[in-house]
């Protein structure tokens, strides 16, 4: 009896066919949306081919027609599923993956720590500058109202005020001393001009006052405006300290080294005696050095001492760099009031360091001491002061205008003297002083024009003798240089008209 042959595949045939197909297929053929096409769905039975990517157009067309030779494997490495499984199952591969994860975790941890450190340093720097700036600020001064900012990259001017006090008292406004400083960091030039506190100026009330009275009248802003008008410059920065501040500043830098030109022994300044020569001054010696005035040249020597001390103090402060300078600045900030911020001071320090290699000029406002109803005043010699400021504004030395005076041969200069102030014997006394200085005094008499001169005039007509007139003003500590032209008649090189402002010392 014949058996009817079964239709379809037997189970064993199905398995063999499955293995054959699996062996000949590299990848899988799956629709992009993850769903197999079926009847009724758009795309028909070939929708699967439409959604698969092929390496070229020919293979794609064959797939659409039902012929699929090779389908790209689904693995990212383009290898078969079996090969991928074998490789990733190896122990070394697993260890490699774990190592990479550990590296990523360590890298992340290091980055996190670095970020925290940067934030901490940033907060620390911000806190430092904020603390220093709050101590440096002009919290008790209105000076900022009168300050005028300098142009970018242009030199600027600083007015520094210090209340020095006396040996027996803390002192008051009448013990103040002032320095006008031209700052030119681009060219590394500093110019210090000493201005005596008793310099006579005209303040906002229209009256003549000693400069130290300006603060009482209108605060530090009045002081800044008065000095700016005197010097003919805009002042961009202001700083103030006192005797206590100076002592702390000296302690912070462990002493200030200066060349003491003349022995310091002034009981009004201090009980300390400081011998001439190079000395490292402590806090109390520094105050004695700054206060003393009983020198042969009086105010001139005191001004030179104050400039020398200021330069040395600045040099000591700038001797440290980076964090060291920042820490020193933070300590010093407590004893100085200024409009400058910590960052601005550090930038200036970086530009000028080392100060010993920078160009430093110094000078004293030219003038003379006069008596105003029992009160000593320092009257500025306008012509010399203007010439000095012309040199300073141009970036030169304040001593340059007087170089010809220093080189003058006084024995070759003839001088005629007239007493025009009405003080008996004033002309004769002036003659004695000039003769002692080496000038040829040819004639002494009274003014014959009937006028009374309140101011001493030193007159020249020939420009060749302008230096001689300046030299006489400097030697006698009085007078104003005048180009006489056709207004004065005299036959000698220079005419000295003695006025009421010059009183001979008996």
SS3 418: strand
Pairwise CA distance, residues 46 & 424, whole Å: 134
Contact 158, 241 (CB under 8 A): no
Residue scoring higher pLDDT (192 or 357): 192
The single-letter DSSP state of residue 320 is: S
Least confident of 150-154, 158-162, 475-479, 502-506: 502-506
- Tell me how many helices (H) and strands (E) the chain has: 15, 17
Query: Which of these, 501, 494, 436, lies nearest to 463 by C-alpha position?
Result: 494
Residue 36 has pLDDT above 50, yes or no: no
pLDDT band at 79; cut points 50, 70, 90: low
Averaged pLDDT score across all residues of the chain: 79
> Residues 6 or more apart from 414 whose CB is under 8 A from it?
439, 440, 441, 442, 492, 493, 494
HSE-up of 327 (CA within 13 Å, CB side)? Answer: 8
- Buried b or exposed e, range 93-111, using 16+ CB within 10 angstroms: eeeeeeeeeeeeeeeeeee
Look at residue 125 in the predicted model and tell me its pLDDT. 43
Cα separations in angstroms, 129 against 62, 241, 333, 340, 449: 76, 20, 11, 12, 68
pLDDT per position as a tens digit, 87-103: 555 555 556 666 666 66
Q: Over the Cα atoms of the chain, what is R_g?
A: 45
- Compute the distance between CA of residue 456 and CA of residue 365 in angstroms, rounded to an integer: 18
| DSSP E strands, 263-310 | 277-281
Report residue 383 as tokens.
Answer: 């012509």
Which residues does 248 contact at the CB level (< 8 Å), separation at least 6?
A: 283, 332, 334, 335
For the residues 124-147, what does the mean pLDDT come to?
68
Cβ proximity of 318 and 328 under 8 Å: no
> Residue 415 contacts by C-beta under 8 Å, 6 or more apart in sequence?
434, 439, 440, 441, 442, 472, 492, 493, 494, 495, 496
Residue with tokens 């797939």: 63
Distance from C-alpha of 437 to C-alpha of 431, rounded to nearest angstrom: 10
Query: Do you know the residue count of the chain?
Result: 506
Beta 480-483 vs 457-460: how paired, if at all?
parallel
Query: Yes or no: is domain 143-199+211-363 CATH 3.40.630.190?
Result: yes
CA–CA separation, 303 and 178 (whole Å): 9
Q: Residue 402's CB: how many other CB atoms inside 10 A?
A: 21
Cα dist. 327→129, 252, 463 in Å?
Answer: 11, 11, 56
- Give yes or no for residue 364 having a pLDDT over 70: yes
Q: Residue 181 and residue 157: Cα distance in Å, rounded?
A: 6
Token pair, residue 65, equals: 């027609």
Comparing 347 with 135, which gets the higher pLDDT?
Answer: 347
Evaluate if residue 136 carries a pLDDT over 70: no
pLDDT band for 108, please (50, 70, 90 cuts): low
Give the pLDDT confidence score for residue 42 in this predicted structure: 46
Distance, in Å, from the CA atom of 288 to the CA atom of 39, rounded to the nearest integer, reads 111
Does pLDDT of 38 surpass 50? Answer: no
> How do the residues of the chain divide into helix, strand and coil, expressed in percent and rounded to 5?
45, 20, 40
% of the chain beyond a pLDDT of 70: 71
Burial class (CB in 10 A: 0-12, 13-18, 19+), 171: middle
354: preceding bond cis by omega (within 30 degrees): yes
Mean pLDDT on 421-447? 91
For the segment 267-282, the average pLDDT, to the nearest whole number, is: 92
Residue 373 φ then ψ, to 5°: 55, 45
Place of tokens 């080496």: 438
Mean pLDDT, residues 407-417:
90
pLDDT at site 295: 87
Q: In the prediction, which pLDDT does 174 show?
A: 87
Whether the model pTM is above 0.85 = no
pLDDT reported for residue 328: 81
In angstroms, the CA 147 to CA 287 distance is: 29
Residue 150: Cβ-neighbour burial (10 angstroms; 0-12, 13-18, 19+)? middle
Share of the chain above pLDDT 90, in %: 37
The pairing of strands 414-419 and 440-446 is: parallel
Please, what's the b/e burial string for 277-287 (b: 16 or more CB within 10 A of its CB; e: otherwise)?
A: eebebebebbb
Identify the top-confidence range among 4-18, 168-182, 235-249, 463-477.
235-249
Q: Does domain 408-498 have CATH number 3.40.309.10?
A: no
411 φ, ψ to 5°?
A: -65, -15
Asked if pLDDT for residue 65 goes beyond 70, the answer is no
């Amino acid at each position: 009896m014949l058996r009817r042959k079964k239709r379809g595949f037997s189970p064993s045939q199905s398995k063999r066919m499955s293995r054959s197909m699996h062996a000949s297929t590299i990848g899988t053929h799956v629709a992009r949306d993850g769903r197999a096409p079926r009847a009724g769905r758009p795309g028909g039975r070939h929708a699967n081919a439409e959604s698969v990517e092929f390496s070229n157009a020919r293979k794609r067309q064959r797939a659409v027609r039902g012929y699929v030779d090779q389908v790209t494997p689904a693995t990212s490495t383009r290898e078969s599923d079996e090969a991928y499984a074998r490789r990733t199952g190896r122990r070394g591969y697993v260890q490699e993956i774990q190592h990479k994860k550990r590296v990523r975790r360590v890298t992340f941890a290091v980055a996190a720590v670095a970020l925290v450190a940067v934030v901490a340093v940033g907060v620390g720097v911000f806190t430092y500058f904020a603390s220093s700036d709050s101590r440096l600020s002009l919290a008790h001064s209105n000076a900022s109202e009168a300050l005028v900012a300098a142009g970018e990259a242009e030199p600027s001017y600083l007015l520094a005020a210090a209340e020095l006090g006396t040996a027996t008292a803390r002192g008051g406004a009448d013990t103040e001393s002032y320095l006008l400083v031209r700052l030119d960091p681009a060219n590394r030039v500093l110019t210090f001009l000493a201005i005596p506190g008793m310099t006579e100026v005209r303040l906002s009330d229209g009256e003549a006052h000693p400069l130290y009275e300006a603060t009482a009248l209108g605060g530090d802003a009045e002081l800044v405006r008065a000095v700016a008008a005197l010097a003919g410059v805009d002042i961009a920065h202001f700083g103030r300290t006192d005797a206590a501040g100076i002592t702390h500043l000296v302690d912070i830098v462990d002493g200030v080294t200066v060349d003491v030109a003349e022995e310091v022994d002034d009981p009004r300044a201090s009980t300390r005696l400081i011998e001439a020569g190079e000395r490292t001054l402590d806090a109390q010696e520094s105050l004695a050095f700054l206060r003393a005035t009983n020198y042969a040249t009086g105010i001139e020597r005191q001004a030179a001492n104050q400039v020398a001390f200021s330069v040395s103090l600045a040099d000591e402060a700038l001797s440290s760099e980076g964090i060291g300078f920042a820490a020193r600045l933070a300590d010093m900030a407590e004893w100085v009031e200024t409009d400058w911020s910590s960052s601005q001071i550090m930038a200036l320090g970086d530009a000028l360091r080392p100060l010993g290699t920078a160009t430093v000029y110094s000078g004293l406002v030219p003038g003379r001491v006069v008596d105003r109803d029992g009160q000593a005043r320092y009257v500025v010699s306008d012509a010399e002061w203007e010439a000095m400021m012309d040199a300073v504004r141009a970036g030169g030395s304040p001593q340059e205008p007087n170089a010809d005076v220093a080189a003058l041969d006084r024995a070759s200069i003839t001088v005629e003297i007239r007493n025009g102030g009405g003080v008996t014997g004033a002309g004769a006394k002036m003659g004695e002083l000039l003769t002692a200085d080496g000038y040829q005094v040819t004639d002494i008499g009274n003014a014959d024009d009937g006028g009374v001169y309140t101011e001493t005039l030193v007159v020249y007509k020939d420009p060749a003798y302008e230096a001689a007139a300046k030299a006489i003003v400097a030697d006698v500590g009085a007078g104003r240089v005048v180009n006489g032209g056709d207004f004065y008649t005299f036959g000698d090189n220079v005419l000295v008209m003695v006025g009421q402002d010059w009183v001979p010392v008996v």
